[in-house]
Copies of this chain bind each other. A is one copy, B any other.
């Protein structure tokens, strides 16, 4: 099947959530003049200044989501912690929701997500589900190794709700889970990758080149990533195949980030899937022929998918609030950054800085991967606020 949508198009898009992902989604739509409504509980949110209309309301509030749906042709979301039940009702009543409400429900619950992987032969770390936190000590007995990963089933975000814990801390009661959780086998010395996957409304699915990540060990936030990854064509192909397979099985259009672990024995495992543009895909704004945000616009509008190839090797550095930073903020080395060729500064228009808060990001482009890594390494030191 194919698109027969024509530009200019008279489709209004509603986004649940008005953060930086919503902001960049609207930015990418501007050459096509798409009408955007945003639901957020803060009129100073990043997407507000760009949206054509902002509905003030909670992201879990059914009435607010219905209000958004009533004025839009297509609904999407830029955060998982929203009311998926009302999305399902809206779908039943004929509204287009992308990705589907069922997809969101699977992804919202890390227990359901793991069952989904198992059911569809999507490789993932071994796990047990522990719905009664008191039974955690018993549950970890079956795992080899000293440590396990404990993931809260609901509500995790940006590394929050995920703990790497020793089995002895669990058995002595030093670590206690606050709620139902998934316990996973802990793979030592894994490499983390991400694949952005785009699925259109007609069943076509494409992947972006593999993205390699560097995480800050303290904050567990992505600090630095680059693409193409420094790996073999075989591993690149396997990662992209696994990611594409996982998204195909969701049977929903959308723009997804599939986070992968590659173990020391070169096993590719799906860690989790985000059903939205992702921090690990921000370099595509400048580095790819079609950015993840333009791609999601194409998907939402029923247009054909864009080319996912890279124009040049690219890196992305997050601009996050430093320790003790609050209130007003300025980039300390704005002039240095803007004087460097192939460097792009994105600020998210947040009213105040906070420690670890994502305030923006920097894209770095270079003609070769080696040049890119050298440049990104230098520029990382300038990615600070004063």
Contact = CB atoms under 8 A, between A and B. Distances in A.
B306 A338 contact: yes
Most chain B CB within 10 A, of A7, A312, A341, A349, is at: A7
Given A311-B311, A342-B307, A33 B349 contact: yes
Interface in A154-168: none
Nearest to A27: B30
Given A33-B49, A311-B311, A347 B304 contact: no
A122 to B, nearest CB: 29
Contacts of A349: 8, 33
A32 B335 contact: no
A307 to B, nearest CB: 4
Interface string A305-334: 011010110000000000000000111101
Given A7-B347, A52-B49, A289-B342, A335 B33 contact: no
Interface residues of A, number: 40
Interface string A1-30: 011111110000000000000000001001
A339 interface: yes
A97 interface: no
Nearest to A23: B30
Interface in A40-54: 49-50, 52
Given A311-B311, A347-B33, A349-B33, A338 B304 contact: yes
Contacts of A49: 33, 52
Most chain B CB within 10 A, of A2, A50, A298, A339, is at: A339
A289 B49 CA distance: 26
B347 A8 contact: yes
Interface string A281-310: 000000001000000001000011011010
Given A311-B311, A338-B303, A339-B304, A6 B331 contact: yes
Quickly give the copy total for this chain: 2
Given A50-B30, A347-B32, A289 B330 contact: no
Most chain B CB within 10 A, of A2, A33, A309, A345, is at: A33
A7 B360 CA distance: 11
A32 B345 contact: yes
Nearest to A3: B335
A338 B6 contact: no
Contacts of A85: none
Contacts of A330: 6-8
Contacts of A307: 341-342
A7 B7 CA distance: 35
A181 B312 CA distance: 49
Contacts of A143: none
A65 to B, nearest CB: 25
B3 A347 contact: no
A331 B7 contact: yes
A289 B367 CA distance: 12
Contacts of A329: 8
Contact of A303 (B289, B335, B365): B335
B7 A334 contact: yes
Given A30-B30, A31-B347, 8 more contacts: A7-B330, A33-B347, A49-B52, A303-B335, A304-B335, A307-B341, A307-B342, A311-B312
13 contacts: A4-B335, A7-B331, A8-B347, A30-B50, A31-B345, A32-B345, A32-B347, A33-B349, A289-B365, A304-B335, A307-B341, A311-B312, A311-B365
Closest 9 interchain pairs by CB? Answer: A307-B341, A6-B330, A33-B349, A31-B346, A7-B334, A304-B339, A6-B334, A7-B331, A27-B30
